Amino acid sequence: MAMQSSGAAPALPQAQRVMAAIADHRVLVSLVALALLPWLLPSKALAVNVLIYGVVVMGYNLLFGYTGLLSFGHAAFFGTGAYLTGIAIGRFGLPWFAAVPLAIAASTALAAAIGTISTRTRGIYFSMVTLALAQLVYYVALQASSWTGGENGLRGFTVDHVNLLGLQINFLDPVNKYYVLMAFAALAIWAQSRILNSPFGAVIEAIRENEQRARACGYDVERCKLIVFMLSGAISAIGGCMSALHLSIVPLDILHYQTSGMIVMMVLLGGARSFFGPFIGAAVFLILEDVVSIWTPHWQIVVGAIFVGFVLFLPKGIWGTLLDLLPAARERR
């Protein structure tokens, strides 16, 4: 036993050091991993989806993982970002670089409105209210069909090339498209890391751990919750803009409760409260969907069962569990 452990000993601190280095350079590590992604996955389409959902789920994780607020309505911001990008380009003829910031700003305003109502409630109420308000957004989009295309979805705003500092990039080429969209993802990842590194990032985690104590320390808990709700909505809206540019169509389903649920599933699979969890969760979910739907059209039953298993046995998700294993390995030494 002693022989074995002395043999394994140098390897373990090294693993720790690697993990610490990864944590210290999380933005860089994320970007390198995402840059390699199209070449690791079986299809470019899958890689783009991982990129888009990764950003959406990352924004959601700010609210659920870091602040501890379980929203079931994040499709509202994902969808609004997509719809407004499409409307700004198709209806108003704006170029994409004007449409995207506009869509993000308007989605943040929606998040302010929904956040004002929902952050007045706590615990389970919050989940129910966010779900209901997101359904409201869904029905508004369904009814306002002259603007949104109703059930058929929004069409007619194809972006076929991107003009970057005089450089014409063909946006129909899947590899070009991936790396252009990755620039948006890079912005979102940097913003997320910046928020978490700031004092505000520490405050939201304090609220998650003990709301009363955070209040007693003098923090305006309600205001912090509203701000984090808006930031979270804004980052998820970036994913929506990416989705609109990618698909050149916005399906009505993007606003559906199922989409909100999928975001929740992804964050839990990957690991809430962790920086890399959202991208890992999005990748695992989408690959799972891809693989299982080859065998059966009823892939949702498999995904649902796996999700239930995670809630019961691995509530920290893939990345969170992995992180937990390392100190345990150190103790064994």
Partner 1 sequence: MDLSLIIMQLFSGIALGAVLVITALGLTIVFGMLGVVNFAHGALFMIGAYAGLYLASLTGSFWWGLLLAPLLVGAFGMLIERVLVRRLYGRSVDDPLLLTFGLSYILVEGVRIVFGSDGIPFPTPSQLIGVVDLGFGFFPKYRLFVIALVAVVLLALWLMLEKTRVGLIVRAGARDPQIMRVLGVDIGRVWLAIFGLGVGLAALGGVLAGPMRSVNPEMGTLVLAEAFVVTVIGGLGSIVGAVVAGLMVGVCISMVALFAPEMATIVMFALMAAVLLVRPQGLFGLKGRA
Name which of 27 and 142 has its Cβ closer to partner 1.
142
**In this chain, which of 87, 264, 283, 286 binds partner 1, going by CB under 8 A?**
264
Nearest to 112 by CA among 5, 223, 238, 12: 223
Nearest to 240 by CA among 154, 179, 133, 162: 154
> Hunting for tokens 């990345």 — which residue is that?
319
CB atoms within 10 A of CB 159: 19
Q: Write out the H or E segment, with its range, that includes residue 26.
A: helix 26-40
**In this chain, which of 43, 143, 158, 198 binds partner 1, going by CB under 8 A?**
143
**In this chain, which of 57, 133, 181, 235 binds partner 1, going by CB under 8 A?**
133
**Residue 261 binds partner 1, judged by CB under 8 A:** yes
**In this chain, which of 17, 25, 120, 161 binds partner 1, going by CB under 8 A?**
120
User: Nearest approach, Cβ of 250 to partner 1 (angstroms)?
Assistant: 20
**Residue 147 binds partner 1, judged by CB under 8 A:** no
With 0-12 CB in 10 A as exposed, 13-18 as middle and 19+ as buried, what is 125?
A: exposed
**Residue 121 binds partner 1, judged by CB under 8 A:** yes
Token readout for 194 is 């910046």
Name which of 90 and 115 has its Cβ closer to partner 1.
115
Question: Binding mask 54-73 vs partner 1 (x if CB under 8 A, - otherwise)?
Answer: ----------------x-x-
Name which of 127 and 236 has its Cβ closer to partner 1.
127
Q: Could you tell me if 255 and 154 are in contact, meaning their C-beta atoms sit under 8 angstroms apart?
A: no
**Residue 235 binds partner 1, judged by CB under 8 A:** no
User: Cα–Cα distance between 279 and 267 in angstroms, integer?
Assistant: 8
**Residue 216 binds partner 1, judged by CB under 8 A:** no
